[in-house]
A and B are shown apart, each in its own frame.
Chain A
Amino acid sequence: QSVLTQPPSVSGAPGQRVTISCTGSSSNIGADYDVHWYQQLPGTAPKLLIYRNTNRPSGVPDRFSGSKSGTSASLAITGLQAEDEADYYCQSYDSSLSGSRVFGGGTKLTVL
Chain B
Amino acid sequence: ETGVTQSPTHLIKTRGQQVTLRCSSQSGHNTVSWYQQALGQGPQFIFQYYREEENGRGNFPPRFSGLQFPNYSSELNVNALELDDSALYLCASSLGTGGAKNIQYFGAGTRLSVL
A, B co-complexed: no
